[in-house]
Amino acid sequence: MTQETVDVLIIGSGHSGGMAAKVLTENGISCLMLNAGPVLDANKDAEPRPAAELPFRGFKQPGQLPHVFQANEFNANTWVDEKEIPYTYEAKQPYNWVRVRMFGGRSLFWSRQSFRLSDYEFKGKTHDGYGDDWPISLADVGPYYARVEAIFRVSGRAEGLPQYPDGNFVVDDRPWSGSMQRFADAGKKLGVPVTKARSSQGVDGLASSVNLLLPDAFATGKLRATPNVVVRELRVDKNTGLVNEVHFVDRLSRREMMVKARAVVLAAGTLESTRLLLNSGIANSSGVLGHYLTDQIYGAGVACSVPEARDGKAGADLMGGSALIPRFRNIDARHPKFQRGYALNIYSSPGGMDPKHFAAYGAELEQKLDSYRGSGFYTGLMGEVLPRKENHVRINKDVVDAWGIPVLHIDTKYTENEFEMARDAMETSVAIAEAAGFEVLAKNPVPNPPGYSIHELGTCRMGDDKRTSVLNKWCQSHDHKNLFVVDASSFVSGGWQNPTMTILALSMRASEYLAEQMRQGNV
């Protein structure tokens, strides 16, 4: 039987865990990484297949993954099955908890949108009086963002907008397509900025922990990793107040095991990290662990057609490309119906159009699809959800997962602030599209259910006051100084931005701090 005390035990292998492993091992610290799921090999685990050969003709298997709108029959096996790992919620307040447990976590599947938070998010309370400021500012995180952007090869262009901080970009100076230029010009006249999107190019198309972070960590010889182990509990030494034991169960055999560690880095993903802390009964002297769950509203937007592109007349330069409208509400003037703001993704598509966008069927629909092919133009909402203490998660001891671990009860809902914001996003989209001369085919003002964006944030938030926060500004537990939580559960607020760059930057920052504290003998 092997029994040792590892220097740092990292729970989770996604973006946050991968970054922690890279930083710590490159600082000479030995790490053991535990991951709840198996190692993926796309060459063995996947192959191209036609829908006609699948058991359900490409339909999602009935009753499977009801809360994963992103699932289909092709990718169903990549998501966590909520029958195996359930969670509960009130019937009127559904939550789409979208999870991946394979090695690399959700860094394997993400949209690549790569943004910095601005001080309109870090210092939101100072700006508009709502909620709480983060204990850090853009100036604190900026240097880490720059290093992360270099690793992930973020494409973009300097825009000079304080709410859309510029970064360390692979410069995207491609000209707009004709339709995008028209949309941008129309937005400018309405006071709405249309900017270049920002996206991680990664390497060979992939921008994941498994190809950009973990290989560097393994190359040091300092990282060992164990897949298929589900952590059940962290235990604290009563004499020292330090986390010293990590109890886990072998996913396949259900054998119970334990490993000792000098420090623990929790990177299991926002809600799994918080679930583990709640189940362990630690790190919660503030009583706010599990509270302030937030995410981002998606789903509202419009589908349009560029009339000049119909019937095969688009030519080479009219269609294609993407853009972004960064937050523009509540920057200089206060909107009468909602606080904070949203961004819009903009796409110009030279491909076919979705039949759902036409109130027609049969031959009539076919004629429309032919005529409109290559003329599609779309907007999609990414909006801030206000952090509220009452939106929270707690342990439901009456329900356990496949390994007997009590599950989360998720108690959260959107309010009029989010619904008004979504409505404004749709109306703004319509106004710009119509001003650009586009035909609006379909529109939707209703956000998807909470969780849909796969950007669950908060529940383990950072702060200077240990009575109102779980972590300090270094993502270090106020209660247990050898415990760090480096995923998005530390977020005080979420903004509209895809959180990946911020997760990576904060994990890098926290891990360098931990390395230094260990060097000094403080941890």
Partner 1 sequence: MRRRDFVKAVLAASAAAPAAMSQQPAAVTPATPQMTPPAPAPRAAGPLPWTRGLREVKPLPMTPLVPDAVAETLTGFFTDRQFASLRKLCELMMPPMKGNPGALEAGAPEFLDFLIGASPGDRQQLYRGGLDRLESEAKQKFGASFAGVTAAQADELIRPWLRAWMSDHPPTEDFARFINLAHVDIRTATVNSQAWSDAAVRKGQSVPNVDLYWYPIDPETRQETRPETRRETQREARSGAGSRAAN
- Residues interacting with partner 1, by CB under 8 A? 1-5, 37-42, 44-54, 56-59, 62-63, 66, 69, 73-78, 102, 224, 226-228, 252, 260, 299, 301-303, 354-363, 366, 441-444, 446, 448, 452
The residues, any chain, with a CB within 8 Å of residue 221's CB and separated by 6 or more, are none
Pairwise CA distance, residues 369 & 362, whole Å: 11
Nearest CA to 457 among 485, 487, 477? 487
Kindly state the greatest CA–CA separation across the chain.
77
| Residue placing its CB nearer to partner 1 in the complex, 289 or 385 | 385
Q: Are 271 and 411 in contact (CB under 8 A)?
A: no
- Shortest distance, position 471 Cβ to partner 1, whole Å: 27
- Shortest distance, position 41 Cβ to partner 1, whole Å: 8
| Residue placing its CB nearer to partner 1 in the complex, 96 or 507 | 96
Q: Fill in the amino acid letter for 86.
A: P
- Shortest distance, position 53 Cβ to partner 1, whole Å: 5
| Residue placing its CB nearer to partner 1 in the complex, 58 or 193 | 58
- Shortest distance, position 390 Cβ to partner 1, whole Å: 26
Beta strands in 81-227 (DSSP E): 154-156, 170-171, 199-200, 223-226
- Shortest distance, position 257 Cβ to partner 1, whole Å: 11
| Residue placing its CB nearer to partner 1 in the complex, 102 or 410 | 102
| Residue placing its CB nearer to partner 1 in the complex, 244 or 330 | 244
- Shortest distance, position 52 Cβ to partner 1, whole Å: 4
Residue 102's SS3 state is: coil
- Shortest distance, position 160 Cβ to partner 1, whole Å: 33
| Residue placing its CB nearer to partner 1 in the complex, 111 or 126 | 111
| Residue placing its CB nearer to partner 1 in the complex, 73 or 172 | 73
The residues, any chain, with a CB within 8 Å of residue 32's CB and separated by 6 or more, are 6, 8, 9, 10, 223, 224, 225, 226, 259, 261
Residue 277's SS3 state is: helix
Q: Measuring CA to CA, how many Å separate 306 from each of 72, 195, 290, 321, 428? A: 30, 20, 46, 14, 17
Helix segments in 76-177, DSSP class H = 119-122, 124-128, 138-152
- Shortest distance, position 454 Cβ to partner 1, whole Å: 14
| Residue placing its CB nearer to partner 1 in the complex, 354 or 516 | 354
The half-sphere exposure of 322 on its side-chain side, counting CA atoms within 13 A, is 12
| Residue placing its CB nearer to partner 1 in the complex, 188 or 224 | 224
Q: Measuring CA to CA, how many Å separate 256 from each of 113, 248, 250, 483? A: 39, 6, 6, 22
Q: What angle do CA 11, 466, 291 make, to 5 degrees?
A: 65
Q: Report the 10 Å Cβ neighbour count for 405.
A: 17
- Shortest distance, position 465 Cβ to partner 1, whole Å: 35
